[in-house]
Amino acid sequence: MKPIRRIESRLAVLPTENVDTDQIIPARFLTTTERSGLGRHCFADWRYDKDGNERRDFILHRPELRGAGVLLAGRNFGCGSSREHAPWALLDFGIQVVISSQIADIFRNNSLKNGLLPIVVSEADWQRIAAFNAQSIAVDLERQQIELPDGTTIGFSVEGFARQCLLRGVDQLGYLLAEDAAISAFEAQRAA
Amino acid sequence: MKTNHELPVTNHGPRTIIDKIWDAHCVRAESEDAPAILYVDLHLVHEVTSPQAFSELRARGLKVRRPERTLVTLDHSTPTLPAGPDGKLPYANASAAEQVASLERHCAEFGLTLHGFGSGSRGVVHVMGPELGATQPGMTIVCGDSHTATHGAFGALAFGIGTTEVGHVLATQCLLQRRPKTMAVTVDGHLRPGVAAKDLILHIIGVLGVDGGTGHVIEYRGEAIRALSMEQRMTLCNMSIEAGARAGLVAPDTTTVEWLRGRPHAPKGETFEAAAQAWLAWASEPGARFDREVRIDAAQVEPTITWGTHPGQVTPVGRAIPSSADPQAQRALQYMGFAGGAPILGEKVDVVFIGSCTNGRLSDLREAAALLRGRRIAGHVRMLVVPGSERVKREAEAEGLDRVFREAGAEWREPGCSMCIAMNGDQVAPGQLAVSTSNRNFEGRQGPGARTVLASPATAAACAVAGAIADPRELDVLQEEAA
Ligand code: SF4
């Protein structure tokens, strides 16, 4: 995984609440055995018409929002299933940061493990950020702050361990594997 | 019980069942710098969320640490029609077939037992684990599937994980986790006749909201919960995730113990009696404090269905759809083609689906069959009945339920997830209205443009007969009017 320190990109506001993982990537695309290439299916049922053509009215297809890497989403983003295909699809689609006033547990967990940064802000801060739709903003993971175009900042916090993993680009499996002796001791003690 | 915690893990007061299970499974307790290393007793695996995890193990040259704690089945992409005359299963597409084949190969490569085709035990992962007796009180259970909470019915701490974590558990039998917050949902009194566990959980989600449980594990407790059968408790715990909770559970009691007795993976003989004593001891200690407490009056719960596009948008079936100026509600109503303030009773139904890990067990099929016996479903309705496992199918056929469904005009299928997730080809057509006993009514969940109403098996069966949204308690009246 690539280390993440600071992301500067355009902001796209998707105000819909409760965007579930079936919207982020519909189940019929889950028969893959790979984790790459899912970006074209991201938001598929909102993005394409029934003939497979791109819908102009889909919010992220507005010219000024295309290619935005920071998504400000309505409350309870990522609810629903545990499919890790959701962060895989978002990353492949070009989203690097999701900001919301509430992010569903499993989705948040899955995102952190893949280098998609989930950030929870208050409703008031959500409104402040939304005012800069389509403008460039910066998200600094090291300082844990969002830098808005007007020069103001909004602080956030990411769980310390996950943050260190992201900053250093290390994955958590290596950490667990290094605890092999402790796991064996635990197993032995329970068997006794 | 283990003692190698490096830090005090909990305050010394009475502990909840959630804290007790958590503490007993900490290989390392959490600290400010690092999450806990939580040991996993049972890991359930299916074909959709595991391929990339096995690839990761292979790439790193790792083995599965505890094959005997890993239970594997095929359910999501599998066809629900039997093999054709050529012996081939009718997969929806080549990638679904490849996904199943890939899990078969991974099981062979990593030395895992697959409860696959022909095993007699294959089923929706959350139906199969309990019926084998693999799900037991006090366990930590995970699966790359958000409805793992189903197993909480047995007093286990059971929750869904992503594919990267599936890899962690395969390789180390452990997960990195922060201690969840705890919530008590106490249901006082008695459910009224004709009110199902599904109605109760839909009601609870309506009260909590779809994100009301975020960050929490719920313990369902109270008189009405104690009165539920194991199957009903599974339906209840199953949908905890629909309130945003990581997990939901019910403390083990004699109902739990008796249900487990004699199951293939349960302890036998005297070992069983000893295990049963240990199971009962997991219950929350008197006076244990929860981070949040919610009380529900069972007598207020009516047959409940959804009207919108998430499982918190619910209404008693006989009442009007709530009218609201909220843009989210407006959007949902527009998608569903419903009007706020109008009754939902009488809305024309195209498809009825009975099945899934929420309501695909024998008792659910019996409830649906009880309404269908001697009746026919409306001519324009397509009804699919999909047993939750091969065992459910065998038992249902042994008591003739398949005939009841067929004679009523429904299709009797092979076990699997089917129309709950619609990735095996069993789909609802665009614009059609489906009444489904599954757990999610998200836009397009049952196929692009499909509109889903979640309901209990009895309500779903009543809707099939009426050809429209109906109250199961009034089916006789409906029939007489039609006659
Ligand atoms: S029946 Fe539905 S909810 Fe249950 S495991 Fe299958 S797809 Fe998931």
Position A2 scores a pLDDT of 86
Phi and psi dihedrals of B288, rounded to 5?
A: -60, 140
Q: Mean pLDDT in runs of 10 for chain A (192 residues)?
A: 93 96 95 92 94 92 95 97 96 97 96 96 98 98 98 97 94 94 97 84
Q: CB of B55 within 8 Å of any CB in chain A?
A: yes
Alpha-helical (H) ranges within A40-159 are 44-47, 85-93, 105-112, 123-130
Phi and psi dihedrals of A167, rounded to 5?
A: -60, -35
Q: How confident is the model at residue B296 (pLDDT cuts 50, 70, 90)?
A: very high
Position A191 scores a pLDDT of 87
The CA angle A135-A138-A143, to the nearest 5 degrees, is 160
Segment B398-420 shows an average pLDDT of 98
8 Å CB contact of B210 and A172 = no
Q: CB of B77 within 8 Å of any CB in chain A?
A: yes
Position B7 scores a pLDDT of 42
- pLDDT higher at A64 or B482: A64
Buried b (16+ CB within 10 A) or exposed e, B409-422: bbebbbbbbbbbbb
The annotation status of B417 as a binding-site residue, yes or no, is yes
Phi and psi dihedrals of B312, rounded to 5?
A: -90, -10
Q: How far is CA B26 from CA A19, A167, B309, B444, in A?
A: 34, 26, 38, 40
Q: CB of B460 within 8 Å of any CB in chain A?
A: no
Which neighbouring-strand residues pair with B72? Answer: B45, B114
Position A53 scores a pLDDT of 93
How many angstroms separate the CA atoms of B361 and B131, rounded?
A: 10
SS3 B61: coil
Position B175 scores a pLDDT of 98
Segment B423-452 shows an average pLDDT of 96
| Strands B114-115 and B70-73, bridge-based pairing | parallel
Q: How far is CA A163 from CA A113, B389, B398, in A?
A: 10, 42, 55
How many angstroms separate the CA atoms of B160 and B40, rounded?
A: 12
The answer to whether B307 touches B315, Cβ cutoff 8 Å, is yes
pLDDT tens track for B56-74: 999 999 999 999 999 999 9
Position B476 scores a pLDDT of 67
8 Å CB contact of B52 and A33 = yes
Rama region for B167: left / alpha / beta (φ>0; ψ in -120 to 50; rest): alpha
Q: Which of B317, B165, B386, B83 is nearest to A109 (CA)?
A: B165
Position A1 scores a pLDDT of 79
Find where tokens 């493990």 sit: A113
Phi and psi dihedrals of A106, rounded to 5?
A: -70, -40
Pocket of ligand 1 (CB under 6 A): B 75-76, 124-126, 145, 147, 356-357, 417, 420-421, 438-439
pLDDT tens track for B104-140: 999 999 999 999 999 999 999 999 999 999 999 999 9
Q: CB of B211 within 8 Å of any CB in chain A?
A: yes
Q: How confident is the model at residue B425 (pLDDT cuts 50, 70, 90)?
A: very high
Tokens of B360: 């695909």
Position B143 scores a pLDDT of 98
Instruction: Give contacts of A106 with chain B, Cβ < 8 Å.
Output: 146, 160-162, 246
How many angstroms separate the CA atoms of B19 and B140, rounded?
A: 12
Q: How confident is the model at residue B483 (pLDDT cuts 50, 70, 90)?
A: low
How many angstroms separate the CA atoms of A14 and A42, rounded?
A: 14
Instruction: Give contacts of B76 with chain A, Cβ < 8 Å.
Output: 30
Enumerate residues 6+ apart whose C-beta is below 8 A from A183: B27, B37, B39, B65, B172, B173, B174
Name the minimum distance, in Å, from the CA of A150 to any CA of chain B: 29
What average pLDDT does the structure give for chain B? Answer: 95
Q: How confident is the model at residue B479 (pLDDT cuts 50, 70, 90)?
A: low
Segment B154-170 shows an average pLDDT of 97
pLDDT tens track for B235-266: 999 999 999 999 999 999 999 999 999 999 99
Of all residues in chain B, what percent carry a pLDDT higher than 70?
Answer: 96
8 Å CB contact of A27 and B423 = yes
**Domains present along chain A, CATH in parentheses:** 6-191 (3.20.19.10)
pLDDT tens track for B311-343: 999 999 999 999 988 999 999 999 999 999 999
Buried b (16+ CB within 10 A) or exposed e, B277-303: eebbebbbeeebebeeebebebeebbb
Position B477 scores a pLDDT of 57
